[in-house]
Amino acid sequence: MTGINKPIALCFAVVTGVGAAFAQDLPKDPVAIKNGASGLCLDISQESQAEGAGVVQSECKDGDSRLWRIEQTDNGYRIVNKNSSLCLDVRGGSRANGTPAIQASCNDTADQLWRIASSGSGNSLANVKSNLCLNVPNSVRRPGIAIVQWPCRTSAGQSWGW
């Protein structure tokens, strides 16, 4: 990192609470978000464009329903599906363990905002409203499993990469 970039990176880390090295790793283009345990990618069930459709894991192959834009906001990150232009959300804005992730019309509510933190070899995605992390239940390696929110811990089932 050059001397010129250090103050900018430090300022970003202080203002957002995100490490400077992490900030440089955020993708600008839509990406597949891959789970560290299953090796499968976040997807929308049946490639649906409908509001309320469930988020599942599937094989990481071509298809816009498997691509996501990560957009920084003042209060976290919005994760937007390329196929539907809908946002990663938690059903009903719930704070309960095991609540499924869905896609919904984008707004500025906390249930659609996520904190991204470096976690082992990947990143954790914690919902701003619930403080629970996006999780593959029991780290199951089967396509079609619903993605849920669960208490954050260091586990491959909560580790995501792009």
Q: What is the pLDDT of residues 37-56, one digit of tens each?
A: 999 999 999 999 999 999 99
Number of domains the chain is built from: 1
* 22 in any annotated domain: no
Query: Distance between CA atoms of 152 and 30, rounded to whole angstroms?
Result: 25
User: Which amino acid, 158?
Assistant: Q
| Closest among 63, 65, 62 to 81, alpha carbons compared | 65
Instruction: Give percent above pLDDT 90 in the chain.
Output: 79
Please tell me the predicted confidence (pLDDT) of residue 126.
Answer: 98
Residue 153, in any domain of the structure: yes
- pLDDT for 5 equals 41
Q: pLDDT band for position 4 (50/70/90)? A: very low
pLDDT of residue 108: 86
Return the pLDDT at 142.
97
The CB density around residue 154, as the number of other CB atoms within 10 Å, is: 9
Residue 15 maps to a domain = no
Among 4-18, 22-36, 100-114, the range scoring the smallest mean pLDDT is 4-18
24 within a domain of the structure (yes/no)? no
Between CA 76 and CA 70 the distance in angstroms is 10
pLDDT in tens, 54-97: 999 999 999 999 999 999 999 999 999 999 999 999 999 999 99
Convert the chain into a string of H (helix), E (strand) and C (coil): CCCCHHHHHHHHHHHHCCCHHHHHHCCCCCECCEECCCCCEEEEHHHCCCCCCEEEEECCCCCHHHCEEEEEECCEEEEEECCCCCEEEEHHHCCCCCCEEEEECCCCCHHHCEEEEEECCEEEEEECCCCEEEECHHHCCCCCCECEEEECCCCHHHCEEC
pLDDT at residue 26, rounded to an integer = 84
Q: How far apart are the first and last CA of the chain?
A: 22
CATH of the domain at 148: 2.80.10.50
pLDDT by residue (tens digit) across 90-104? 999 999 999 999 999
Domain range for 70: 29-161
Is 6 among the domain residues?
no
pLDDT digits (tens, 9 = 90+) for 112-156: 999 999 987 899 999 999 999 999 999 999 999 999 999 999 899
pTM (whole model) above 0.75: yes
Quick check: is 14 in a domain? no
Q: Has residue 18 been placed in a domain?
A: no
| Phi, psi (deg, nearest 5) at residue 145 | -70, 130
Q: Is residue 12 part of a domain?
A: no
Nearest-angstrom CA–CA distance, 135 and 97: 10
Beta bridge partners of residue 101, listed in sequence order: 90
Burial class (CB in 10 A: 0-12, 13-18, 19+), 4: exposed
pLDDT score of 120: 75
